[in-house]
Amino acid sequence: MLDALIGRRLANREQGEQKIGWIAGVPAMGLDGLGSSSYGPEAALTILMPLGAASLAWIGWVIAPIVALLAVLYFSYRQTILAYPSNGGAYTVAKENLGPMASLLAAAALMIDYVLNVAVGISAGVGALTSSVPGLQPWTLELCLGILAVVAIANLRGTREAGWLFALPTYLFLLCFLGLIGWGLVQMVASGGHPHPVIAPPPLGHTMEAAGLWLLMHAFASGCTAMTGVEAVSNGVGAFKEPVVRNAHATLTVICVSLGLLLAGIAAVAHGYGLGAMDQTAAAYQSVLSQLAGAVAGRGVIYYVAMASLLAVLCLSANTSFVGFPRICRLVALDDYLPRGFAVADRRLVFSVGVIFLTVTAGGLLVAFGGITDHLIPLFAIGAFLTFTVSQVGMVAHWRQQQGRNAGRLAINALGAVTTFFALLVIGAAKFVEGAWIVVLAVPATIAILLLIRRYYDRLGRGMAATVPFALDDVDRPTVLVAYEERNRMTDRALQFAMTLSPDVLAVHLLRLSGPEQEEEIARLHDAFERDIAQPVAARGLTPPRLVQIPAPYREIEGPVLELVERIDEATPGRAVAILIPELALNHWWERLLHGRRAQRLRAALVAHAGPRLMIITSPWRRGLTP
Amino acid sequence: MLDALIGRRLANREQGEQKIGWIAGVPAMGLDGLGSSSYGPEAALTILMPLGAASLAWIGWVIAPIVALLAVLYFSYRQTILAYPSNGGAYTVAKENLGPMASLLAAAALMIDYVLNVAVGISAGVGALTSSVPGLQPWTLELCLGILAVVAIANLRGTREAGWLFALPTYLFLLCFLGLIGWGLVQMVASGGHPHPVIAPPPLGHTMEAAGLWLLMHAFASGCTAMTGVEAVSNGVGAFKEPVVRNAHATLTVICVSLGLLLAGIAAVAHGYGLGAMDQTAAAYQSVLSQLAGAVAGRGVIYYVAMASLLAVLCLSANTSFVGFPRICRLVALDDYLPRGFAVADRRLVFSVGVIFLTVTAGGLLVAFGGITDHLIPLFAIGAFLTFTVSQVGMVAHWRQQQGRNAGRLAINALGAVTTFFALLVIGAAKFVEGAWIVVLAVPATIAILLLIRRYYDRLGRGMAATVPFALDDVDRPTVLVAYEERNRMTDRALQFAMTLSPDVLAVHLLRLSGPEQEEEIARLHDAFERDIAQPVAARGLTPPRLVQIPAPYREIEGPVLELVERIDEATPGRAVAILIPELALNHWWERLLHGRRAQRLRAALVAHAGPRLMIITSPWRRGLTP
């Protein structure tokens, strides 16, 4: 069943076939960045709404710095990819250039960012869907979880095979909206700056206030959410096939140029056609992109195709996180800051622990917020710009340590660091009350957990390190105890195994009855044991096993057995003790209902309370085999 | 925490202190029977409703046979208790006198009956509660499950300590209603047959039809639900303390006499005061007992106390099943028809598997019907009368086999068998469409499952029986494989253990890397092993362990290890192979998140696919111990 759902297992040598080129790279890593072009400008225009018609005059001044920042980041990340062709995420850059604490800061910011991205991306997409088809509104949460499941399973199968699922909407989205924007610009030029919209956009509101610096900074901060996702390529360089750096650069270029064209184009067309943001809670609400498409091309086929591709891009933008999150978790786990399960590739060469962890966390967020996560959007940009800043500072430190003439490269990354840090401050200040304080709390909490995990592994490693030479104090054969309920083939084999290990074998029987019936039971078992087992063995000249019968006043076996082991330990110090527990191999799942877990409970109790010279032997018995 | 919720564990010798006398026996086993006095007559009157005022004339004729049947059952069960002073349930009586198939019939009927009783009793009580306090109506299911949980926990603690919880409502109920009935009868006599009701009962409806035989039989069948629960005492004789038979007889007498007085008294008072059943779905619905209490004593304190005690009795009537069900399951399990877990007393000397199974099944029924189980009431009487009939027939067979003059005793049980069988036919015919067909299906299905379970255990026993003499073909020391990831204290100890067992020790290492790095890894590990382990051992004159490094192309260890074991088996046939797996003992629950389950998975795979000469050794390692 697992094969049907997720696919056949893959050998290590197939790993090369799972890597991708730039054409598949753009959808795999760019959905987040490209999709944020839909809510970035809209968020900025929403802040500018009180300016009324004057918002059109200012939108350019807000978008332009964002596009410039994007350009700076583009050139900075080109260099990062070049310097770190296996993985150039902020984590690695910080770890190698700034030290462990900075790397944990980057890791925490990235991980939180990825989880938020999944939750917000999916819910934004579903929210857009339910505003087109209001009948689906009551199923918001179910739709969100359903899409989450689809994306999770696609990722458990491995990126390569699910590639087409993401490529189609991505390239369709780019085609539609770059086309719409281009046609809109043509119309604007052709009509001398006053194009005639096919469907008139709603009128803008009255001017309530004048544009102030605080308002513009706030709009800039909201618009910066358009840049989340740009770091995905440098995080995931390890996914590309040869030539790795060229493919990664090509992917980054396509994503950044497209995003820049989209942002600038949206601003220009909005200015030209007079589009503004609308109140999301009012009736007849239309998003900015919806107004744009309607104004440029009307409500024809193109409109619905474009909106559908937008919906798909938003919903699937979660996929960028599903590619990035397991990889960052793997890097962090390899440094012992996360449980080791995150670093292991599963049967499909996917880091499935990371995928599942992300699914559960994002799913929890969706359930907690009922699939409506408008409150989380402000938190977005904080984490992303924190990551940008740490990455850029790390690259500056990198170029300083490198030999050779890197002044130009250093300057680019320095500019990036300064600008992103400034943007981070602006965003933090503007959004603090709205929700940024949550990130301010979550990042240190995550770092604390990572440090605790590392401390655990360090202690464990120190405790287990073989500091003393390999010593053999005692090679005496151990005393072997055999859990003996009654004579049957299973216990016969257990005793046979025991006798290959040592001449000192004790069969341990737990007395069930009490009172006078107990005397009878003891005598009967003793006689049967002597006759069936001890005498045949002695006749062969070997030391026969001895039967020990112990009372169990509380009806459980663990206590009496542990006591017996202690007494043997005191009597023969330095000698090992082995406890042999017969276990029936079960052929069907329903057999578990018909058998207790006494063997497992006894073993668990022995493991938990074992002295240093105790070993526990399982003697499995499979039915149908002829020994 | 378990101690706080359920109590400290009890030793076998404390078993005597857990037994009860007749005063505690009446509530423990009589709640079902006494509580059914509330819905039995009401159900009969409901059937008679179309007769209008004429129903009063016929109610006596319907209740009288029921009371007579009760008397017959009383004397019959007195004899059963006498003949079977350890347990005289229908199961044992049938098994010893009629054979296994009859006993399974009785067992299935009893088990289904107990589950239905729990579900219906609790929901009937909650239903009465929500008709008194309509605001609780939306919480019906939650109230049902909550009460189920309370009764279940009280039973997990053991009957004795929870006795007062059941005794108070039982004796209060008896006091109130026998008192009300008595006072009503006094008023009827004093007023010459026309008593003046304190609160006038609602008027009876018009006469719609004349009384026919079918209608009267149907009313009789519904009224028979008043007799469910009478068998509880003979089923649970094992719970009484010395003198066992006297206590059991006293309990049975109190229960039957009280039930008989209640049934006859309700009929008489209903006749005298003109009380009839009302439409349950109509507004201002009042139960018959509510009308009775109102008519005799008005709506004062007595009324509310009486109704409260009735509610408690109904809800707690489930407890009778919680005493009986685990005991019948234990008997059936001791004969291998149920999983053995049902036959084991837990830390509180309670048969907790049975309690939990009953809780889950009844809970499932409650959830499936939303806490409203009116449809199940008709199924009740079928199972109960089937049990009665089987029990009585068994007793007839018992007396026939006994020596001595038992003609009188045989006649009593024969009369009981004939009458209950006749009642069974009437109930089956009357209720078949309403739901008795469910029982007709469920009983054979249950019997089939019991037979399948018995067949499984029989086959298992045959397969495991030691039919061949104890043989020792081979006492050569086994080949020991040690799972070797890296050198640390844990693997040092594992190797030391291995060397006490055999001179042929192989340390098995799984190669993680591939390609050119693999060559490096192999060489490095080999050199370290030679230097740290093999040479010191050889220097002492012992056979050193050898390091085997195997590739794992699918990254899992089970496949390569099983292959290695097969090759060793072929090379050295007849010799045992032991695989030693080091396991770290975890001190806290959260450590499970930080460690994989590789040791457990490997052991599970080995147990499932082991050849006949394989044993699996766990070498536990606890931190903090000095070896």
Burial of B522 (0-12, 13-18, 19+ CB in 10 A): middle
Inter-chain residue contact B618 with A611, CB threshold 8 Å: no
How many angstroms separate the CA of residue A555 from the nearest CA in chain B? 8
Rounded CA-CA distance B444/B448 in Å is 6
Q: Is the ipTM above a cut-off of 0.85?
A: no
Contact yes or no for B606/B579 (Cβ under 8 A) = yes
How many angstroms separate the CA of residue A585 from the nearest CA in chain B? 6
pLDDT of residue A560 exceeding 70, the answer is yes
Domain ranges across chain B: 20-400+407-456, 479-621
Inter-chain residue contact A466 with B488, CB threshold 8 Å: yes
pLDDT at B253: 94
- A610 CB neighbours in chain B (<8 A) are 585, 620, 622
Among A329, A453, A500, most B C-beta atoms within 10 A, so best to mutate, is A500
Q: What average pLDDT does range A32-48 have in this prediction? A: 83
Confidence of residue A17 (pLDDT cuts 50, 70, 90): low
Q: Determine contact: B598 vs chain A, CB below 8 A.
A: no
Rounded CA-CA distance A382/A379 in Å is 6
**Tell me: the pLDDT tens digits for B603-615?**
888 888 878 889 9
pLDDT at A4: 63
Confidence of residue A254 (pLDDT cuts 50, 70, 90): very high
Confidence of residue A547 (pLDDT cuts 50, 70, 90): very high
Sheet with B614-621, side-by-side order of all strands: A546-551, A505-511, A479-483, A577-584, A614-621, B614-621, B577-584, B479-483, B505-511, B546-551
By residue count, chain A amounts to: 627
Compute CA distances B349 → B21, B23, B152, B156, B325, whole Å. 18, 21, 15, 9, 15
Rounded CA-CA distance B235/B77 in Å is 10
Q: Determine contact: B528 vs chain A, CB below 8 A.
A: no
Nearest to A488 by CA among B87, B464, B264: B464
**Tell me: the pLDDT tens digits for A28-38?**
888 888 888 88
pLDDT of residue A264 exceeding 90, the answer is yes
- What's A274-309 look like in SS3? CCCCCCCCCCCCCCHHHHHHHHHHCCCHHHHHHHHH
Please name the residues in contact with A2: beta carbons below 8 A apart, sequence gap of 6 or more: none
How many angstroms separate the CA of residue B161 from the nearest CA in chain A? 19
Rounded CA-CA distance B323/B239 in Å is 9
Percent of chain A with pLDDT strictly greater than 90: 18
From the DSSP assignment, how many helices (H) and strands (E) are in chain A? 23, 5
Q: Determine contact: A515 vs chain B, CB below 8 A.
A: no
Rounded CA-CA distance A284/A278 in Å is 9
Q: What average pLDDT does range A78-100 have in this prediction? A: 83
Compare A256 and B217 and report the one with higher pLDDT.
A256
Low-confidence spans in chain B with pLDDT less than 50: 627
Inter-chain residue contact B555 with A345, CB threshold 8 Å: yes
Burial of A190 (0-12, 13-18, 19+ CB in 10 A): exposed
Q: What is the CATH number of domain B20-400+407-456?
A: 1.20.1740.10
Q: What average pLDDT does range A392-415 have in this prediction? A: 84
Q: Which range has the worst mean pLDDT, A56-60, A254-258, A268-272?
A: A56-60
How many angstroms separate the CA of residue B606 from the nearest CA in chain A? 9
Inter-chain residue contact A466 with B492, CB threshold 8 Å: yes
Nearest to A132 by CA among A288, A307, A266, A3: A307
Q: Determine contact: B617 vs chain A, CB below 8 A.
A: yes
Burial of A195 (0-12, 13-18, 19+ CB in 10 A): buried
Of B346, B610, B626, the CB nearest to A620: B610
Q: What average pLDDT does range A416-444 have in this prediction? A: 84
Inter-chain residue contact B478 with A466, CB threshold 8 Å: no
Q: Which range has the worst mean pLDDT, A17-31, A256-270, A440-454, B61-75?
A: A17-31
Q: Determine contact: B497 vs chain A, CB below 8 A.
A: yes
Q: Determine contact: A474 vs chain B, CB below 8 A.
A: yes
Of B347, B533, B608, the CB nearest to A585: B608
Rounded CA-CA distance A237/A231 in Å is 11
DSSP code for B507: E
pLDDT at B562: 87
Compute CA distances B308 → B136, B167, B201, B262, B563, whole Å. 15, 14, 20, 17, 71
Inter-chain residue contact A469 with B537, CB threshold 8 Å: no
Compare B129 and A578 and report the one with higher pLDDT.
A578
The structure tokens 């979660």 sit at: A318
pLDDT of residue A552 exceeding 80, the answer is no
| Segment 551-580 of chain A within 8 Å of chain B by CB | 553-556, 576, 578, 580
User: Within a 13 Å sphere around the CA of B261, how many CA atoms are in the beta-carbon half?
Assistant: 16
How many angstroms separate the CA of residue A459 from the nearest CA in chain B? 10
Rounded CA-CA distance A524/A513 in Å is 13
Please name the residues in contact with B264: beta carbons below 8 A apart, sequence gap of 6 or more: B63, B64, B67
| Segment 268-327 of chain A within 8 Å of chain B by CB | none
Rounded CA-CA distance A611/A619 in Å is 21
Q: Determine contact: A16 vs chain B, CB below 8 A.
A: no
Among A12, A351, A484, most B C-beta atoms within 10 A, so best to mutate, is A12
**Tell me: the pLDDT tens digits for A139-184?**
888 888 998 998 898 888 875 555 677 888 899 999 999 999 999 9
Q: Which range has the worst mean pLDDT, A18-27, A163-172, A348-357, B11-20?
A: B11-20
pLDDT at A303: 85
The structure tokens 């499970």 sit at: B592
Rounded CA-CA distance A225/B395 in Å is 84
Confidence of residue A526 (pLDDT cuts 50, 70, 90): very high
How many angstroms separate the CA of residue B406 from the nearest CA in chain A? 33
Question: Residues B216, B219, B220, CA angle at the centre, nearest 5°?
Answer: 85
Query: Which two tokens mark A121?
Result: 């991306």
**Tell me: the pLDDT tens digits for A607-627?**
888 788 899 999 888 887 654
Q: What average pLDDT does range A402-410 have in this prediction? A: 79
Percent of chain A with pLDDT strictly greater than 70: 92
Q: How far is CA A296 from the centre of its chain?
A: 40
Inter-chain residue contact B553 with A13, CB threshold 8 Å: yes
Mean pLDDT of chain A: 84
Q: Per-residue DSSP letters for A487-501?
A: -SHHHHHHHHHHHHH
Of B466, B591, B622, the CB nearest to A489: B466
CATH superfamily of domain region B479-621 = HUPs (3.40.50.620)
Inter-chain residue contact B625 with A611, CB threshold 8 Å: yes
Secondary element (H or E) of residue A330: helix A318-334
pLDDT at B275: 84
User: Within a 13 Å sphere around the CA of A508, how many CA atoms are in the beta-carbon half?
Assistant: 24
Q: Which range has the worst mean pLDDT, A315-329, A520-534, B478-492?
A: A315-329
- A553 CB neighbours in chain B (<8 A) are 11-13
> What pTM does this model have?
0.76
Helices (H), B281-406: 288-297, 301-316, 318-334, 352-368, 377-401
Q: Are strands A577-584 and B505-511 parallel, antiparallel or unpaired?
A: unpaired
